[in-house]
Amino acid sequence: MADTILEARDVVYSYSRKGPKVLDGMCIKIDKGVKTAVLGSNGAGKSTLFSVLNALYKPQSGTVLYKGEPLSYRHKGVIKMRSEVSILFQNPNDMMFKPYVEQDVAYGPENMKLPKDEVDKRVEEALFTVGMEEYRKSPIMKLSYGQRKRVTLAGVLAMRPSVLIMDEPTAGLDPQMAYEVMEIAEQLHSSGVTVVMSSHDTDLVYSWADEIRVLGGGRCVYSGPPEDFYGDRAEVQRAGLMPPSVFSINEALSRSGAFPLEPLPRTRAQLSVKISGKGDAYGRMHVILADPETDVPGLIASSGLKGISTGVCGISARMAAESSGFKADFPYNGPENCVSKCMTGQDSVLICDPAMLGVAESSVRFIEANGYGSIETDVVNPGLSDRGLSRRRTGRVIKAVCPIAAFRIASGRPRVGMRKRFRRVLQRRKPERFATSWLKRVYVLS
């Protein structure tokens, strides 16, 4: 279904001539637009594989293909490839080259020999994406570990890679920061970047990845959707891993006869839904689309949604909540928590980044598709984008384009009809196509 963007064929690599082979006949394919997680125990060769894919190391034998072409290890070819495939190192301190945030983020684009304007634009955009705009002029030395991690992520994003490889992106981060990084990964995915990551956090990866690649003994021992792999306990044990807790709890409950094994929940909230079973009356989920300037409390008050539990999803939504001093009940895991709230029969409000609608949708869809009832959804301010132009602090004009808005412009119908249409759109379209492009289309700097 998808094209292979990066591929390693029978790659053999060892650090020294007589040393052990870290990669020994590694065959791996990374498909375009598929969220791929690379798993394996310590020393399975994950980082080495990434370095080989990025032409940092030249394999002793075997080939690495990018977009179907074998890698050229010549200067020009490598430059071109590396400007499209980027690695985020595990330790942000390894990637700090400049004393100030802005300079460090600009390092990549400058090396690409881009014109100054373009570099500026990209730095701003990247810092915005990771939510570090206000630290633009800060010295890096003064930042905390988590902030440094975000700055290095911005530094990589500023190169606008089409493939982003993240080596243990959540290692050493506290749960909230880890969640935010995963959210950024999700947004990048929906903007068309192919995101690959390695992680030891089985639960986190399970809720995120479409497909996994498991490494062991210098080879790829499994490639495919995570569920099939975790189903084979012996195989998991051999690979030095453990099944995610959501997976094993679901499995155990189904074996004890509480419910059938399928559908397999990927997240904690989905598991809760499954354990609870079908409820009688569900609440409604109100979605507020937000750009960083949206006046969240005002909008909630004017729509008569005061007193309802609110969740936040996506960076611009987070920024909107922060800048308008709004305290959400679920600042993290917004869609899931909102769905859970709805399942208890109460309404909920989700303040959502337009780019994250796909995520919100999949949370709702799990309920509907598996016959646990349906949760009504409506968008409170579909006109976010046909308000069209909003001014940001920088004074630049930003135009947001989002499919729902486009839809509404076309139909011109009132809100009630909107809701039905919205749902129909959600059901009809695949999330990849539905979700808007984040970097390239949502905020078009004019």
**Interface positions, 264-323, toward another protein (CB under 8 A):** 268-269, 271-272, 275-276, 279
User: Cβ of residue 430: shortest distance to another protein, in angstroms?
Assistant: 28
Among 11, 36, 38, 40, binds another protein (CB under 8 A): 40
Q: How far is the CB of 442 from another protein (least distance, A)?
A: 25
Give the residue carrying structure tokens 């690599």. Answer: 13
Count of residues near another protein by CB under 8 A: 80
Order the strands of the 23-31 sheet from edge to edge.
Answer: 23-31, 4-13, 61-66, 69-70
Burial of 69 per CB tally in 10 Å (0-12, 13-18, 19+) = exposed
DSSP secondary structure, 171-228, as one string: TT--HHHHHHHHHHHHHHHHTT-EEEEE-S-HHHHHHH-SEEEEEETTEEEEEE-HHH
Beta carbon nearer to another protein, 6 or 384: 6
Q: Which stretch in 94-102, 350-358, 376-384, 387-395 sits in contact with another protein by CB under 8 A?
A: 94-102
Shortest distance, CB of residue 240 to another protein, whole angstroms? 5
* 349 touching another protein, by CB under 8 A: no
What is the C-alpha separation between 187 and 356, in angstroms, rounded? 7
Instruction: For residue 278, give the DSSP letter.
Output: -
- In this chain, which stretch among 129-137, 188-196, 330-338, 377-385 interacts with another protein, using CB under 8 A? 330-338
How far apart are the C-alpha atoms of 47 and 220, rounded to whole Å?
13
115 binds another protein (CB under 8 A): no
Query: Does residue 98 belong to the site contacting another protein (CB under 8 A)?
Result: yes
Residues 387-426 close enough to bind another protein by CB under 8 A:
none
Nearer to another protein, 57 or 443 (CB): 57
Rounded to a whole number of angstroms, the minimum distance from the CB of residue 398 to another protein is 27
When the beta carbons of 113 and 137 are compared against another protein, the nearer one is 113
| Of the candidate residues 6, 212, 246, 435, the single one contacting another protein (CB under 8 A) | 246
Q: Pick between residue 12 and residue 177 the one whose CB is nearest to another protein.
A: 177
Spell out, one character per residue from 129 to 148, where the chain touches another protein: x when CB under 8 A holds, - when not. Answer: ------------x--xxx--
Q: What gap in Å lies between CA 419 and CA 132, rounded to an integer?
A: 34
Count how many residues are written for the chain: 446
Q: Segment 50-69, which members bind another protein (CB under 8 A)?
A: 51, 54, 56
Residue 218, classified by CB atoms within 10 Å of its CB into exposed (0-12), middle (13-18) or buried (19+), is buried
Q: Which is nearer to another protein, 33 or 265 (CB)?
A: 265
% helix, strand, coil for the chain, step of 5: 45, 20, 35
C-alpha distance across the termini of the chain, in Å: 35
> Residue 351: which region, alpha, beta or left (left: phi > 0; alpha: psi -120 to 50)?
beta
Residue from 1, 42, 307, 416 in contact with another protein (CB under 8 A): 42
Single out the residue of 237, 302, 394, 411 in contact with another protein (rule: CB under 8 A): 237
- Residue whose pair of structure tokens reads 């029978």 in the numeric block: 10
Name the minimum Å distance from CB 86 to another protein: 6
Separation of alpha carbons 336 and 334, rounded Å: 6
Work out whether 83 is an interface residue with another protein (CB under 8 A). Answer: yes
CB contact set of 387 (below 8 Å; sequence gap of 6+): none
Is residue 257 a contact residue for another protein (CB under 8 A)?
A: yes
Chosen residue from 4, 12, 25, 41 binding another protein by CB under 8 A: 41
237/394 with CB nearer another protein: 237
Q: Which helix (H) or strand (E) holds 340?
A: helix 334-343
334 binds another protein (CB under 8 A): no
Instruction: List the one residue out of 324, 384, 315 whose CA is nearest residue 127.
Output: 315
Determine if 74 is a binding residue for another protein (CB under 8 A): no
Binding characters for another protein, 161-200, by CB under 8 A (x = yes):
-------x--xxxxxxxxx--------------------x
CB of 411 to another protein, least distance (A): 36
